[in-house]
Amino acid sequence: MDFKTEFKPYTIQPQKIEGRSFEIIDEEIGSHSYTAEQYPIVQRVIHSSADFELGKSLRFHLDAIQAGIHAIKTGKKIVTDIKMVSVGINKRRIEKFGCTIHEYITDEEVVKEARALNVTRSIIAMRKGIKEAEGGIFAIGNAPTALLELIRLIKQGAPKPGLIIGFPVGFVSATESKEELMKLDIPFITNKGRKGGSTVAVAAVNAIAIMAERVE
C-alpha cells in the first residue's frame, strides 16, 4: 500500500492553530495582573501546557522582559540545564542575533569534575556556565540543584546572568529553589509552587525571542 497517494488534506494549519489557541487563552484566563509586557510569556506557557493554574503562577522580576530581550538582541549565550530545554528553543529565531545554546551537563570536563568531587553534574555544569555566559540567559527546566547552585554562585559574586528563567519541577526542593530565586535582585522569570519543567522553560525563552524579533 502506498500511503503517499492516499493523502486527504488536513484543514488544520499550524499558524491557525496557534492563533486560535491564543484566542481561547485570552477568553478563558480571567482576571490577572500581568503587564502587557509579561502577558505574552504567560500566554505561551499556557499554550505549551494547557494549564492556566501554571500560567498564573508565573512571577517576574520587574526588569525581566527587558533584560531578556537585551540578552538576545546582543547575542548572549543561552545556558540550559538539560538537553530537552536546549532542543526546544527555536534556533532560527535566536541565531540571527548571534545567540548560541549551551548545556554543559554533557561536557567532558564537567562529567570528569563531578565524578572527582562526587557531586551532581548539574551543579558543576552551572559553575562552568556562569563563568562562560556573563549577561546570558540561564534557562533551568528540571533540576532544583542547578538553580540552587546558580543562586549560590551569584550570592558569592559570580559574573551575573542577564536573565534567569527558573522552572525546576517537582516535590523536593523545586518550590524552595524558586522562592530563593525570587529573593534575588536580578532579572528572573519563575513561578510559585511545584509545577514547571522543560516545556515551560522553553516556552519562556521562545516567547522572549519572539519579542526580541519585534522590538526595534
Known catalytic residues are: 47
Q: Which stretch binds its own copies (CB under 8 A): 32-40, 72-80, 141-149, 208-216?
A: 141-149
Which of 71, 169, 207, 212 is the binder for its own copies (CB under 8 A)?
169
Q: Which of residues 14-53 bind its own copies (CB under 8 A)?
A: 14, 17, 20-21, 24-25, 47-51
Q: Are 197 and 143 in contact (CB under 8 A)?
A: no
Nearer to its own copies, 143 or 212 (CB): 143
Q: Which stretch binds its own copies (CB under 8 A): 33-41, 72-80, 83-91, 178-186?
A: 83-91
**Residue 129 CA from chain centroid, whole number:** 15
174 binds its own copies (CB under 8 A): yes
Q: Binding residues for its own copies, per CB under 8 A?
A: 1, 3-4, 6-10, 12, 14, 17, 20-21, 24-25, 47-51, 54, 83-84, 87-88, 113, 117, 119-120, 123, 127, 130-131, 144-145, 148-149, 152-153, 156-158, 169-174, 193-199, 202
